[in-house]
Structure 1
Amino acid sequence: MENGKITRKNPSSMPAPVGNYTHITKIPRNTELFVTSGQVGVDQDGQFPNTLNEQVTNTFMNIKTVLGSEALCAENIIKVNIWATEEIDWEFLYSEWDQLFSNDYPAMTIGYIAALGLPEIKIEVEIWAAKV
């Protein structure tokens, strides 16, 4: 029987997550699903900062804005995909991450790739969210 809530688990039969994420997230039946395009570090003026960390800050602001446009918040996020073209400063990214999430982390995938859609983009974050 579905409990009508999004649930997150780290099965005890497998290694603990190596970062701030959850191994599996379950959404109940008849849940409304939202998938964002990859959010990037562009600012309100259409400019990309030069550093990855500045782009991370803008990306998280853009994530909050796009979620807010549908009355969604961090607890609705079920999956995050992150792509970066250079090494992520995890201490910095997690400081932004933890402002969005408390300890109720979604599932997450991270990949390092050679390039994103435009040469100036250093990070792109795709969000999957669900509203029960």
Structure 2
Amino acid sequence: MTEQLKQVIATNNAPGAIGPYSQAVRIGDLLFTSGQLGMNPAGEFPATVEEQAEQSLNNVKAILEAAGASMSQVVKTTVFLKDMNDFAQVNAVYSKFFTQPYPARSAVEVARLPKDGLVEIEVIASLK
């Protein structure tokens, strides 16, 4: 794959990268976002897992919009949880952002997230 095929997507409406990666990369008709923590663009975390899940998905939405896409174009999500006991709360927030047909999804518990976040969500979207 050559660099000419890769288009970096970035927006100030989501937190900037905290390492050597892009907020999102477009390859052809596919958009891959990096994992979005539940912090606002200023780098502040809300207190609860529900608030962090909502902020994470708002960050995803902002990145999609920067690419000219919407949440309805998401085909796959991966949800990383600090505690799988928070699954129901995160699922309730998640259901506000997606409608049928729902994207495919994986959800996993991880030992630790960057900046000690409670949830991180990444997506793949079709830009067709």
- Calculate the TM-score normalised by the size of structure 2: 0.70
Aligned pairs for 1:86-101 within 5 A: 86-101=83-98
Say yes or no: does 1:127 pair with 2:119. Answer: no
Report which of the two has the higher share of helix. Answer: 2
- Calculate the TM-score normalised by the size of structure 1: 0.68
Unaligned runs of 5+ in 2: 1-27
List, as ranges, runs of 4+ consecutive aligned residues in structure 1 with deviation greater than 4 Å: none
Percent of pairs with identical residues: 26
- The one-character-per-residue Cα deviations of 1:87-116 (angstroms, maximum 9, x if unpaired) are 354443333323221121011001001101
CA contact (8 A) 1:52 1:88 kept: no
Q: Which residue matches 2:109?
A: 112
Number of positions where the alignment pairs a residue of Structure 1 with one of Structure 2: 102
Say yes or no: does 1:45 pair with 2:31. Answer: no
Q: Which amino acid aligns with 1:83?
A: F
Decide which structure has the larger Cα Rg and report it.
1
Say yes or no: does 1:35 pair with 2:32. Answer: yes
Q: Which amino acid aligns with 1:61?
A: N
Structure 2 Cα separation of the partners of residues 74 and 39 of structure 1:
14
Structure 2 Cα separation of the partners of residues 108 and 88 of structure 1:
17
Structure 2 Cα separation of the partners of residues 108 and 98 of structure 1:
12
CA contact (8 A) 2:80 2:110 kept: yes
CA contact (8 A) 2:84 2:109 kept: yes
What's the secondary structure of 1:62's corresponding residue? helix
CA contact (8 A) 2:80 2:107 kept: yes
Unaligned runs of 5+ in 1: 1-30
Q: Which residue matches 2:23?
A: none
Flag the structure with more relative contact order, 1 or 2, with Cα contacts below 8 A and sequence separation at least 6. Answer: 1
Q: Which amino acid aligns with 1:71?
A: G
* Cα 1:88/1:104, change in 2 over 3 Å: farther
Match of 1:66 among 56, 63, 80: 63
Structure 1 Cα separation of the partners of residues 85 and 66 of structure 2:
28
